[in-house]
Amino acid sequence: MTAAGRCCAFLTAAGLAGLLLAVLCGTVVAVEQQPAERRAQLLKNEAKRFYWGNGGRQDYRRALELYEQAAALGDAEASYIAGGMYYTAKGTTRNLAKAFTYLDFAARQGESSPASQRALAEFYLLGSVVPQNFGKAADWYEQAAVNGDTDAQIELGFLHFVGRGVEQDFTRAYELFRQAAFQNSGVAQYNLGIIWYTGNGVEQSDLTKAYAWFSIAAGNGFRDGVQARDYLATVLSEAEIARGQDEASRLFREIRSGQTATGQTP
């Protein structure tokens, strides 16, 4: 799967749902009298009600209006959601220029908005609204990756692997894929299998470790991982397959342990 192919799902309704569900229900009461931060939160609360139709009618247009008002008060989350709604044409006609403007603002708020940073990187990666610029895409992916965004870690790893927008650096690609793999990304786990299979980014090729990572990716529902694991099963000995399975079990326990510590579900 190409980077461009993988990077287009960042503003789906499901993605917006994850953000919107984090916002508590509420009503706007004397909004103008509140400090900006409080006013923005109240506006987002009301926007959520219209977005989902909680307690009344669903109205994407009104939700967008309220998110834009909150964004005008400097709220990064509201700016990200407004950008997403313009991108996906929820409550409005699709407007990529406005989507970019809102996402650009949100991305510049730093560690509070890694999803916006990744979204901005994808505009530059695809040359949408702005001229295609792999260097700027890599810069924004870097910021999002540092702030823990799994998809950004994968995309930045891919750019380092192929040397697009950054110096080709297999070791850095390996490090980034590993970060994402331990956040239980099937794509990253598969990519680590490729690295161990080719030996790019590690000391030497190790088909047993490749088999282990392909197995984990397969267990995570990644179809290419199933195919790669099954192929290696035809070239490895029974003893090597057994070692690969043991390694996969060990790695999965590490992944599970890390996610339990951070409150994530493996």
DSSP assignments along 37-97, one per residue: HHHHHHHHHHHHHHHHTTTS---HHHHHHHHHHHHHTT-HHHHHHHHHHHHHTSSS---HH
What whole-number distance in Å separates Cα of residue 192 and Cα of residue 17?
Answer: 30
pLDDT of amino acid 34: 66
In angstroms, what CA-CA distances link 168 with 7, 161, 195, 258?
20, 6, 14, 29
Q: pLDDT over 70 for what percent of the chain?
A: 84
- Asked if the model's pLDDT at residue 113 lies above 80, the reply is yes
Q: What are phi and psi of 244, to 5 degrees?
A: -65, -40
Domains of the chain: 1-147 (1.25.40.10), 169-266 (1.25.40.10)
Q: Is the pLDDT of residue 68 over 70?
A: yes
Residue 134 has pLDDT above 80, yes or no: yes
Q: Is the pLDDT of residue 190 over 70?
A: yes
* Residue keyed to tokens 């080719």: 198
Instruction: Check residue 19 and give its pLDDT.
Output: 37
Q: How far is 86 from 96, CA to CA, in rounded Å?
A: 7
Range in 27-31, 33-37, 104-108 with the lowest mean pLDDT: 27-31
- What does the block give as tokens for 218? 């397969």
How sure is the predictor about 111, in pLDDT bands with cuts at 50, 70 and 90?
confident
CA distances from 113 to 107, 128, 185, 241 (A): 6, 20, 20, 42
Please report the pLDDT score of residue 112 as a whole number: 81
Among 21-30, 119-128, 145-154, 194-203, whose mean pLDDT is lowest? 21-30
pLDDT band at 261 (very low <50, low <70, confident <90, very high): very low
* From 12-21, 158-167, 196-205, 208-217, the region with the lowest mean pLDDT: 12-21
Query: pLDDT averaged over the chain?
Result: 88
Q: What is the pTM of this model?
A: 0.81
User: Is the CB of residue 150 less than 8 Å from the CB of residue 188?
Assistant: yes
User: What does the pLDDT average to over 2-24?
Assistant: 37
pLDDT score at 70: 98
| Of 176, 186, 189, the residue nearest 149 (C-alpha) | 176
- The CA distance from 61 to 58, in Å, is 9
pLDDT of residue 7: 38
Residue whose C-alpha is closest to residue 144's, from 177, 160, 169, 121: 121
